[in-house]
Structure 1
Amino acid sequence: MTMLSVAEARAKARKRLTSSMAEWAAEAVAEVRVEIALHPPTEKQALTDQAAAADWAASWRAVEAKAVGTPASGLEIEWEERNWARVGRQRVPIRLRLTTPDEVAAFAGGDTARDWRRLRDRTAAIRQRFGEVGGRRVGDAGRDGDADRDGDAGRDGDESRDSDGETVGEALAAAVRSQAKRILGLSDASFATVIAVVDWLRTHRLGSLRPRQLPIRGVDSKWFESHRSLVIALLAGIGHADAVSVLDAEPRLRLRILDPALVSGAGSGEAAADSDTTAAPAPTGVLSDGLDDITAPISQLSGLPLAPKLVFVFENLESVLAMPAWPSAVAVHGSGYAVDQVTRLDWIAGARVLYWGDLDSHGFAILNRLRSRLPGVESVLMDEATLLAHADLWVPEPKPHTGTFAQLTGSEARTLDRLRTEGDVRLEQERIPWETALDRLRTAVGDATEGHLGEEERDRRERDRRGRDRGERDDGSTDTEGHLGEGSDDHR
């Protein structure tokens, strides 16, 4: 095995420090036991290149000499004498031992050591301000020649515990440990502000507020959103999790009402005409004629007095915006993996739902996600025929999804397999010509509308025709008021 150089040992120490500094700082660890095997040469290796072996041993003597000259050094090098037949008695270093976090950092050097000192000092400031965390040693009773190790070298057994059995200070330590990267990444000024905000909030319980309502001078909503997780974690760590409950903005969806008739009859209040005069008024004005493009919180959209027969859910917003008028239909922007939010719309339960997403692995993952919440959803333009008909428009998928999707139909699963077989390609929704897409959407709706949408549409047209005939017989005039679908056969 190759002799471990000082530089290689520093790299190992640096790796160990990076993985452990959050725990060491959070728990105020005073002692550790990190050992690094140095892999001294065999006699044969030493004979092969005696100068290299001598230089290697000298480099470790220099490290030891520097440590000996440093007060309270936590660096030790273990040496061992070897009696070799041809080289004679030789004293070789076999193991480096680092016994304090500061010594691990000092030996590792570089930016990692600087990060440790910053995290150590900031964590100490948090403990000093909000509560002491009992220090403990970390050590290891066993050995593994090539491994860097640490382990428990003792705890303070007299620390008091709360009703949940949690040692006093453990909650704060856990908060610091989970937020170590954020604490480390703050500027000095930002860190000081975080400490000041946590200190203020623990003595001023605010209840539920939006970020804009926080009455802390100099702390605006943008600042709080950037530092929110750290502030909330520290408050929880010092037992003040209820000091402030920040209200998040509710997710929003965008939809288009493709049939004006869905709006014109909504909230008219006709059903309340014969009701008791003390009844609550009907929700007039909830929707206005001409309103067809709405972006709002999901809870508000769910409460709209809509009863569509058909709901299109598209991954691409431009496809939603390009949709023409469509009888008893609504088009919803699915917003990628947020598509399951669509199922929170109460009025979608009685509708037929068609989903169209990108023809790629993530498109099928999103479809699978939606169908797990809405089993009856149908896909359109996500089949093998569509994929192969647009092979010239394929592009590589940057980061394909490698999972399996239990909710896909056989046809959809075969299309996904074909995507992967062709080299993880993708056919983005917006690359399919719009007229081609519309034709397929009409076909998809028509394929399953007998006795459903198509029959109702034919009945409505027949009623409209009879109404026009009556109007002509009564006054000789023609009813020129347009009905949805008439005069627009070019898109059916």
Structure 2
Amino acid sequence: MDWIDGKVDPISYYAKLSVFRKLPIGRMAAERNRFTELFGDRVEMVDQSLPGVRGQPPVPMPNHVTFAGPDDLLSCVWSDEWPAMKKRFLLLKETIGRLVALRNNAHKIINLSDADFEALVAFAAWRRAEPEARPYLRSLNLPGVGTKWLERNIRLCRLVCADLGLEGSQDCHIEACGLHREDRREATLKWNEDAYPSPFGNTSMTVRISEVKSSPVLAKIGVVIVVENLEMLDKMRPAPDVLILFGAGHAVGPILADMGCLAGAEIIYWGDADSHGFACLSEARRARPDLRSHRMTPEILENCAHLMRPEPDAARLLNAPSGLTPDEARCCEALKEKWLRLEQEFDEDGVDELAARGLVDPLTERHMAATTEPEPEPKSKLSALRKILSAH
């Protein structure tokens, strides 16, 4: 049955007399009159005795309704909306050729403004005429179709593409609509200015990954130090063949996976020794199984005891992330037991270790006093919890 064209045989329905008979006597007449006013001469009436009323002659009650077709039925039910809705769907059917997904979303079509609907028809005509095109949205010259319009109507555009048999990626709405998605993901890099002088005099830059992922210059880098925090990127000056990369927290995995130019480099990951840090390390290792961690093993528990802080979110450590080495897993477990964390920006000894390997320059200024008073180790999780709560 195609309810848009209405080209079917007549449709018949039996009225539920039991519904009418259950109504109070006073309301029954009103509902009967409303029913007959709505459907007019399409209603067949039969004489029925009223329940609970003796000695009264039968009264006419609705029994059967016959419509000429779907168009006739819908024009009765949606007397105000149906003409406009039918006009819109006939235009979409003429433009697309068939309606399946869109037909099941009639309410979304009728609720569009005239301008938005005209833009949807223009979009449908373009997709049908150029099914292989993958332009950027900004280069798509269609009246009314822009960034804000697409944000409002992205799901309708996907339904249009589905009816055309052109729906693409299920993961990206933009690509599913036949448009090229602009990759705006970024990475912050720091390099040695003597080896790679910049015309602007800067030593770090935030760049689009899509623009540098095949860079021949970055392909020459021997070692990449990935840091979790920007403070460490600012603090260190890399050696000539070393690059410092800001991991951007949990985005580190996709960044490393897409930076194909660094495939031949040694990757060192240095993050906070805490719940987030080990989770980020796990994600980084999924992208680069060959990477090594720095200062995320049990030795830091003794060497950096004076720099430890209470872990404010120890619940995140209840399940250790996957992909950790045995030493990393032991460190993670020990921190969980003690409810402690080490933020890398306080660990200047870690910079010294990298400097001893010739990967970065030694620190010229030290901000963490070596004589910092050690923080006593919590005797139990309960005492650690009390300490955290008292600090807030």
User: If the length of structure 1 is used for normalisation, what is the TM-score?
Assistant: 0.45
Aligned mate of 1:367, from 270, 281, 300:
281
Decide whether aligned partners of structure 1 residues 366 and 392 sit closer, same or farther in structure 2, where only a CA change above 3 A counts: closer
Aligned mate of 2:196, from 238, 251, 263:
263
Matches within 5 A, 1:263-412: 263=196, 288=199, 290-301=201-212, 302-306=214-218, 307-339=220-252, 340-383=254-297, 385=300, 390=307, 392-396=309-313, 400=316, 405-412=321-328
Q: Where does structure 2 lack aligned partners over 5 or more consecutive residues?
A: 1-10, 12-21, 39-81, 169-175, 367-392
Deviation sequence 1:50-85 (CA, Å, 0-9, x none): xxxxxxxxxxx6699889757499xxxxxxxxxxxx
Decide whether aligned partners of structure 1 residues 228 and 175 sit closer, same or farther in structure 2, where only a CA change above 3 A counts: same
Q: Is the 8 A contact 2:273 2:296 kept in 1?
A: yes
Distance between the aligned counterparts of 1:196 and 1:323, measured in 2?
A: 56
Q: Is the 8 A contact 2:189 2:205 kept in 1?
A: yes
Distance between the aligned counterparts of 1:444 and 1:297, measured in 2?
A: 28
| Amino acid in the other structure paired with 1:376 | D
Q: Is the 8 A contact 1:262 1:308 kept in 2?
A: no
Distance between the aligned counterparts of 1:249 and 1:368, measured in 2?
A: 28
Give secondary structure in 2 for the equivalent of 1:245: coil
Q: Which residue matches 1:442?
A: 352
| Amino acid in the other structure paired with 1:490 | T
| Amino acid in the other structure paired with 1:350 | G
Q: Which residue matches 2:123?
A: 198
How big is the shift at 1:330? 1.1
Give secondary structure in 2 for the equivalent of 1:209: coil
Distance between the aligned counterparts of 1:259 and 1:379, measured in 2?
A: 22
| Amino acid in the other structure paired with 1:334 | G
| Amino acid in the other structure paired with 1:395 | P
Matches within 5 A, 1:57-456: 71=35, 127-131=89-93, 173-174=100-101, 183=108, 188=113, 192=117, 195-202=120-127, 204-205=129-130, 207-239=133-165, 241=167, 245-263=178-196, 288=199, 290-301=201-212, 302-306=214-218, 307-339=220-252, 340-383=254-297, 385=300, 390=307, 392-396=309-313, 400=316, 405-418=321-334, 427=341, 432=343, 434=345, 436-443=346-353, 446=356, 449=357, 454=358
Q: Is the 8 A contact 1:314 1:357 kept in 2?
A: yes
% identical equivalent positions: 22
| Amino acid in the other structure paired with 1:305 | V
Q: Is the 8 A contact 1:311 1:330 kept in 2?
A: yes
Q: Is the 8 A contact 1:252 1:295 kept in 2?
A: no
Give secondary structure in 1 for the equivalent of 2:144: coil
Decide whether aligned partners of structure 1 residues 391 and 401 sit closer, same or farther in structure 2, where only a CA change above 3 A counts: closer
How big is the shift at 1:212? 1.0
Distance between the aligned counterparts of 2:83 and 2:328, measured in 1?
A: 56
Decide whether aligned partners of structure 1 residues 210 and 229 sit closer, same or farther in structure 2, where only a CA change above 3 A counts: farther
How big is the shift at 1:371? 0.9
Deviation sequence 1:318-364 (CA, Å, 0-9, x none): 43234334453211122333323223334423332222334444433
Deviation sequence 1:202-246 (CA, Å, 0-9, x none): 465382211111212333334335544531342232345599731
Distance between the aligned counterparts of 1:342 and 1:203, measured in 2?
A: 38
Give secondary structure in 2 for the equivalent of 1:262: coil
Decide whether aligned partners of structure 1 residues 413 and 229 sit closer, same or farther in structure 2, where only a CA change above 3 A counts: farther
2:371 is equivalent to residue 490 of structure 1: no
Q: Is the 8 A contact 2:229 2:248 kept in 1?
A: yes
Give secondary structure in 1 for the equivalent of 2:178: strand
Distance between the aligned counterparts of 2:249 and 2:110, measured in 1?
A: 31
Decide whether aligned partners of structure 1 residues 195 and 383 sit closer, same or farther in structure 2, where only a CA change above 3 A counts: same
Q: Is the 8 A contact 2:221 2:242 kept in 1?
A: yes
Give secondary structure in 1 for the equivalent of 2:245: strand
How big is the shift at 1:390? 5.0
Distance between the aligned counterparts of 2:137 and 2:283, measured in 1?
A: 32
| Amino acid in the other structure paired with 2:209 | I
Give secondary structure in 2 for the equivalent of 1:263: coil
Q: Is the 8 A contact 1:312 1:355 kept in 2?
A: yes
Distance between the aligned counterparts of 2:244 and 2:83, measured in 1?
A: 55
| Amino acid in the other structure paired with 1:249 | E
Distance between the aligned counterparts of 2:355 and 2:210, measured in 1?
A: 28
Q: Is the 8 A contact 1:253 1:333 kept in 2?
A: no
Give secondary structure in 2 for the equivalent of 1:208: coil
Q: Where does structure 1 lack aligned partners over 5 or more consecutive residues?
A: 1-29, 31-60, 74-119, 133-167, 265-286, 458-483
| Amino acid in the other structure paired with 2:256 | V
Matches within 5 A, 1:23-34: none
Decide whether aligned partners of structure 1 residues 391 and 437 sit closer, same or farther in structure 2, where only a CA change above 3 A counts: closer
How big is the shift at 1:416? 3.6
How big is the shift at 1:303? 1.0
| Amino acid in the other structure paired with 2:192 | D
| Amino acid in the other structure paired with 1:380 | H
Q: Is the 8 A contact 1:259 1:329 kept in 2?
A: yes
